[in-house]
Structure 1
């Protein structure tokens, strides 16, 4: 009988006990092994765990609260913290402009190669290689140190970045005190993050190329050598680094040592409002402060800097909180705001030190006059050498005793921030660079007012003769010095200086400045001088600073003349473009209308920062180039871009321009829904680029106008395929029908009118109306041709006839979309007119284009122009050969309110000449004027 393996086993009772003993032995062995392992782990690592816990508790205690400004009251960081706008960048390109300018324009910078990132995520990555070194740049007061504090607090609370075992914050201001000492500490293979806060404050050479590489943590070295080797990764290669810096010092670190570069750009508009709502407990007060700041746009823009938000909130809350005789008007200039801030801080100082203060603002300033101007001297002398940090010796050199300053009403400790470090030596700085420049301006104005010219001679131009230097000459010198600065470090100082000279500011400074006559006459002359300076070739920052200087003088005429700038026929200068950009950035209108304007590429670059805040950008007929399309594309890629309607018609962009534009259209940040590319010489390649956008999942286009372009059959096939990938291509017409019927995307309207799709059916055969023709005009070929003759044809007198002007109208009234071409010989006027145009006599009311009832294009051998009423636009026409006919295309889009003219070459290619934009109110009649004998027009 067969026996199975299972049956062959003899399960005796003794065997069962053996197996049980084996199982128990194995269980006990594993238990003992685990126990020993845990014991060893706790024996060797318990100290590390306890130390890590102690470190986190210490960090939470140190960084859990924040001092805003220089007040002594602390607030919980998590309660008041408002996240700033941080982006990743491809490089740490140095911006040499003044930091306040960088702060004002940070939110408008091109973010095409940037993406928004949270502070807690800077070490997160998608690549296989980890991110070891992160560089974060930002101007003073923008929130770098607070971001570091929030990062540390979130780690200590166990919320973020728990893969890190230890965080070590190195303040370079503290390390400066040890730059010649040789030391290093030993760190093991734990995941350590070194945070180097304030690279711009280092007083070490950081010679990456010259310093000797070291990798042994036990090797003694100077601080400069240690830092360079730590950054390059020779020392502690497994450690992480986070370095913060002002932009000017961001390039100290070699590019190969930076794995990620981020930039803090301060608050956007919603974050500003959030800050004031968090800081001000009273919602009504917070709302009033926000409204007050928004009413003065230049102040609201400055609130991108968090510390400036604190200054503005402090001043506005103080003013709005007072009623009755003590109430004051809100500041309308930057200078007035800082004067209020100065007074506020003096009063806070009195309260802080227990002094009584009942004497009013004027006596308050008078009592603190000495220390204010000593601080001003400190600020001014160091501003000239571009120094922002001071030692106790620097204070003593200006007559400021640290002990005496602490005993006085507290102005020093309120305005100058003591930088507490880890070591006995102390450094001082003003709480923000703008505060230093304000005090410097106060000092300079005071010194000049008291005729101590030597103190401010750096600002005064050399003058021949013995003519006394007056206030106007002094301010002119300061302006010229600011314009000569390569990085604009005197821009804001000059703005404050000019603002202080205004009578309203001097009224606020009574008790501090002496009694002087009104400066209104000097200010008027200074305004004239500034308006002359705008003609110079200046950078955008210098141009805008001149505008700010005018606003500090409360002169808004340059802004009120904006309509004259925008309606000018001559090309806009770079300064005018800076002015328009400033206007748009200040007022934030929904529509940016640059139709029929001309400027240089430099001018358009200056306009570009104003585009993102507009929902409609009208850029047709403005001589856009393919290169400038890249600038428009960068605006569309910006997360700040609000553009939903983009009109680029009549610009002759070609396929190259469309390709550059599509780089922005396909980006996820692009919000464009309506795009006009009519009359742009778009061909097959341009259509292919557009098709990539239409196929992409990020496209939001709903309306696309491609009228009057040479798309070609292949271009149309590509477009149809983009709209309906599965359709069967049979012919051009059926392709479009299938595509539009089966559009799987969200395209609501596609305008392909007036493209050469094969046989084009013209609207109808136009005919000239004989009863309107002047007697020197002869009609022929079925009233489709007119020639100017020397002999009067003695036509019957009619009410409709032009009796003095050599003009004629067509029979048909037009109120739809029409396109026709005319063949011309010699000098002619081609235009449209309402039926009510004057017919008798001569003058503007009769001549085509010279009145409100008509629009015309004039073409001759040497020149041309487009005209409506008194506005005449001179044109650069292709050279017209004598006695050789040339063709002109006329496109009327009556519903859209456009009338366009084109030069048509022998191949049928259209070159855009000009487009009128208006609102038509009645049907139009095609009309012609022939000014020279044998001049001819033939309707094709």
Structure 2
């Protein structure tokens, strides 16, 4: 209770939730701060972002995950050299996914000749590839099961649902199996004397990727743009990561690992996804935007980055007059994405970054491409300890 006493962050959070500290205050805790813009009208007195791993914490995670320290060093070196993957490592869950997906590239002979993932979509493609490679023999038609699982995952994303029960599996003609356990965690719920089982994906982003993969494969090419437009129209952020993955799957590098098990991706679908990204970006960048519009533009920059399509970047971002992000709080990952997308282009006419609260790590990510902007409008905020 002594305000001058040093203690762990967890103790402060626990004290607030238990109303032992600041009794009467309301406390909101979220693992998805992307949706906080919906609370603009609420009077929030104090907010804090717990950043997770910093500095050597990231390296230590990989050293502990791999028994072979040579492999740990090789995986971490690749991550460290890739800005988007390294920036993701603030989150322990992403470190786990990175370790599972990248480990085989440095331990298995047949993987050492493959291109190591550079984007988040490519990373998750190999995460799914490893499951299919190790478990596909356990089931007659792994593609069919994966697509049904993806439909269930998509319904979950649409309805903000991350917990599934036996009734959900039955609805999508899914049976518990060793193959399915590679995608879903089985958890036991105890209610008095009754025990029931429910299922969840190891991480929400895995659910979103499986949902995106299924829609990319089963949606009719003529309908995929309508699906993407409808998802993009939801302003609560539920489809943001899903849309990034769909855009990323238009990249041959992301699709290639999965073709062996899921058959080639339709060229018409890929073209429709690229066309949707192009039209949406041009419409957003060419309009007068409110805060919501700027968020949509930033989200589409993430989609463009995941697609790794240089020609598309030049035809969209390289042709607009103004990229306006004034008033948006840009994270280091946002800055990495902006840096790479701007790097795809020959030049940018005007970039606005006023009141974006870009911290030192974000500025470092942007610094190498700012010379490409003919006009740069920004406000540098000095932070004091």
- Contact 1:138/1:247, CA 8 A, preserved across alignment: no
Q: CA deviation at 1:609?
A: 2.2
Matched, 1:413 2:303: no
Q: Which residue of 301, 306, 319 maps to 1:547?
A: 301
Q: CA deviation at 1:137?
A: 2.1
Q: Which residue of 1 aligns with 2:210?
A: 439
Say if 1:557 and 1:268 are closer, same or farther in 2 by CA, change over 3 A. Answer: farther
CA-atom RMSD in angstroms? 4.6
- Contact 2:251/2:309, CA 8 A, preserved across alignment: no
How far apart in 2 are the matches of 1:585 and 1:444?
A: 28
How far apart in 1 are the matches of 2:140 and 2:259?
A: 8
Specify every segment of 5 or more residues in structure 2 that has no aligned partner in the other structure, as ranges. 1-5, 341-348
Q: State the SS of the aligned residue for 1:426.
A: strand
Q: Which residue of 293, 296, 313 maps to 2:79?
A: 293
Q: Which residue of 281, 286, 291 maps to 2:67?
A: 281
Matched, 1:422 2:190: yes
Say if 1:581 and 1:379 are closer, same or farther in 2 by CA, change over 3 A. Answer: closer
Query: TM-score scaled to structure 2, two decimals?
Result: 0.71
Q: CA deviation at 1:139?
A: 0.9
Q: Which residue of 2 aligns with 1:384?
A: 158
Q: State the SS of the aligned residue for 1:137.
A: coil
* 1:665-684 equivalence runs, <5 A: 667=384, 669=385
Q: State the SS of the aligned residue for 2:199.
A: strand
Q: Which residue of 1 aligns with 2:58?
A: 272
Q: Which residue of 354, 367, 370 maps to 1:604?
A: 354
How far apart in 2 are the matches of 1:562 and 1:476?
A: 18
How far apart in 2 are the matches of 1:327 and 1:139?
A: 37
Say if 1:388 and 1:623 are closer, same or farther in 2 by CA, change over 3 A. Answer: closer
- Contact 1:502/1:523, CA 8 A, preserved across alignment: no
Q: CA deviation at 1:507?
A: 2.9
Higher normalized contact order (CA 8 Å, seq sep 6+, divided by chain length): 2
- Contact 2:326/2:355, CA 8 A, preserved across alignment: no
How far apart in 2 are the matches of 1:267 and 1:255?
A: 30
* 1:444-843 equivalence runs, <5 A: 444-448=215-219, 451=220, 471=221, 473-515=222-264, 518=267, 522=272, 525-526=275-276, 528-533=278-283, 534-536=285-287, 537=289, 539-556=293-310, 572-574=322-324, 584-585=335-336, 603-606=353-356, 608-609=357-358, 611=360, 613-614=362-363, 632-633=380-381, 636-637=382-383, 667=384, 669=385
Matched, 1:137 2:32: no
Say if 1:588 and 1:348 are closer, same or farther in 2 by CA, change over 3 A. Answer: same
- Contact 1:562/1:580, CA 8 A, preserved across alignment: no
Q: Which residue of 2 aligns with 1:750?
A: none
How far apart in 2 are the matches of 1:304 and 1:515?
A: 35
Say if 1:286 and 1:598 are closer, same or farther in 2 by CA, change over 3 A. Answer: same
Say if 1:551 and 1:310 are closer, same or farther in 2 by CA, change over 3 A. Answer: same
Say if 1:438 and 1:366 are closer, same or farther in 2 by CA, change over 3 A. Answer: farther
Q: Which residue of 2 aligns with 1:122?
A: 12
Q: CA deviation at 1:564?
A: 7.3
Q: CA deviation at 1:122?
A: 2.2
Query: Which has the greater radius of gyration?
Result: 1
Q: State the SS of the aligned residue for 2:196.
A: coil
Q: Which residue of 2 aligns with 1:74?
A: none
Q: Which residue of 1 aligns with 2:123?
A: 337
Q: CA deviation at 1:476?
A: 3.0
Q: CA deviation at 1:316?
A: 0.5
Q: CA deviation at 1:583?
A: 7.5
How far apart in 2 are the matches of 1:514 and 1:556?
A: 26
Q: State the SS of the aligned residue for 1:388.
A: coil
Q: CA deviation at 1:550?
A: 1.8
Say if 1:261 and 1:528 are closer, same or farther in 2 by CA, change over 3 A. Answer: closer
Q: State the SS of the aligned residue for 2:189.
A: coil
Matched, 1:320 2:212: no
Deviation by residue 1:755-809 (Cα, 9 ceiling, x = unmatched): xxxxxxxxxxxxxxxxxxxxxxxxxxxxxxxxxxxxxxxxxxxxxxxxxxxxxxx
Q: CA deviation at 1:298?
A: 2.6
Matched, 1:396 2:170: yes
How far apart in 1 are the matches of 2:317 and 2:272?
A: 28
Q: Which one has a larger percent strand, Structure 1 or Structure 2?
A: 1
Q: Which one has a larger percent helix, Structure 1 or Structure 2?
A: 2
Q: State the SS of the aligned residue for 2:253.
A: helix
How far apart in 2 are the matches of 1:320 and 1:414?
A: 22
